[in-house]
Amino acid sequence: MSVAAANSRLDNRYLEALGPLRPLVEDDSLTEIMVNGPEMVYVERKGKILLTDIRFDDEAHLLRVIDTIVSSVGRRVDARSPLCDARLLDGSRVNAAIPPIALDGPLLTIRKFAKDPYQVSDLIGFGTITQEGASFIQACVLARANIVISGGTGAGKTTLLNVCSGFIPIDERIITIEDAAELQLHQEHVCRLESRPPDVNGEGRVQIRDLVINSLRMRPDRIVVGECRGGEALDMLQAMNTGHDGSMTTIHANSARDALSRLETLVLMAGMDLPLKAIRQQVASAINLVVQLSRLKDGSRKITSITEVVGMEGETITMQEIFRFESRGADPATGKIVGEFNPSGIRPKIIDRLFDMGVPLPPRLAQLFPDRRQLMQEAQIAAANRQQGNGANQGPGSPPGFDGPAGMVMPPSMPPGFGMPPGRPNDPRGGR
């Protein structure tokens, strides 16, 4: 039997074990599957939550399906550990909660991912971002900027992180660190690490923080952390500040400013007694860009701002917004949110790094923010050309500055060869 046939047979057996969930898992139009006990199964389609007519036989049937899912990736869920994060074989994220903490029966939530990962062209087609904004993010990734993707639950942070990771050149070594492996990178040189919960005896736990520390010994060009939600934020900042430029992560926050405030809180969760100013200095020097995602009222997901971290002023981290989404209300016919994603007009500090590294800019941004050094060179060349032009207009025998109409002119009544004698006429030391 060939390997492809064996994998196909394994997939079929796995899908059959999912029971009533199989048609939902195979439906590419769904983004979320939510099971609230054996009697209620909800799905999310195009940003809207819908109740389905799918049912499980009983609670035991649902528990068997949950156990199949979590055990296939080496996890377990039982009365002693009733919470579990896992994934389907296709990479979709799974969270399970069973009694005694789930009061009305087992709960199962599946965050589905497309079989063919979204590309930047897909996000532009969805209206999540414009071509200009995507080109700016791509330029920042190529220039090895440290990027934090911020947003609420279900805003599309992991999808955008996957797209941004796709901008990394293929000749760089990438280390990905996640709670449940979700990223689907196209590069070949990728090392994937996944955290591990404790075993039945409470031992053998491997946290995200341990993996971040270990990744520094793996000669990474880029470190991509699926989500910072604890003390690993401190180690991530340390990595960004010690030569591992171009790293990326996601964080739950409602705005770019809130993202930096939450980073400070997560660093304090590491248990290190650091002064707040020192933490802020670490954040300001490590993070270059914060990309804010939002899930709007109509269910659409959009990048609402791209903000640059400039530095520190006193004890405050200074930021400037490079792009912003300006909403113009909802379309009465369709109910869709209408707006534009435009540059704010503020010159990004990172522009100079892009010019230094020879990274091309989007045409509109290149017009808004030209290279200052190139402008100075052009001004010097223009000044030199003007000087050469002035020299060409001078007469062949006249000294510089005496060929024009301005200056002293010999009176017509004075004969040639005569002029003002030395000294002044009334000067006792000179004159006649």
- Give 280-322 pLDDT, tens digit per residue: 999 999 999 999 999 888 888 899 999 999 999 988 999 999 9
Of residues 256 and 11, more confidently modeled: 256
Of residues 395 and 105, more confidently modeled: 105
Rounded Cα distance between 219 and 234, Å, is 19
What pLDDT score was predicted for residue 393?
Answer: 55
Last residue of a domain, one of 348, 374, 400: 374
User: CA nearest 209: which of 238, 184, 181?
Assistant: 238
Average pLDDT estimate for 98-126: 89
Residue 279 shares a structural domain with residue 308: yes
The per-residue b/e assignment along 185-202, b for 16 or more CB within 10 angstroms, e otherwise, is: beeeebeebbbebeeeee
Residue 409 lies in a domain: no
Q: What is the pLDDT of residues 125-176, one digit of tens each?
A: 988 999 989 999 999 999 999 999 999 988 889 889 999 999 999 999 999 9
Residue 136 shares a structural domain with residue 68: no
Residue 286 shares a structural domain with residue 208: yes
Residue 4 lies in a domain: no
Of residues 273 and 22, more confidently modeled: 22
Q: What is the pLDDT of residues 348-361, one digit of tens each?
A: 888 888 888 888 77
Residue 364 lies in a domain: yes
Last residue of a domain, one of 62, 85, 111: 111
User: Confidence band (pLDDT; 50, 70, 90) for 394?
Assistant: low
What pLDDT score was predicted for residue 406?
Answer: 47
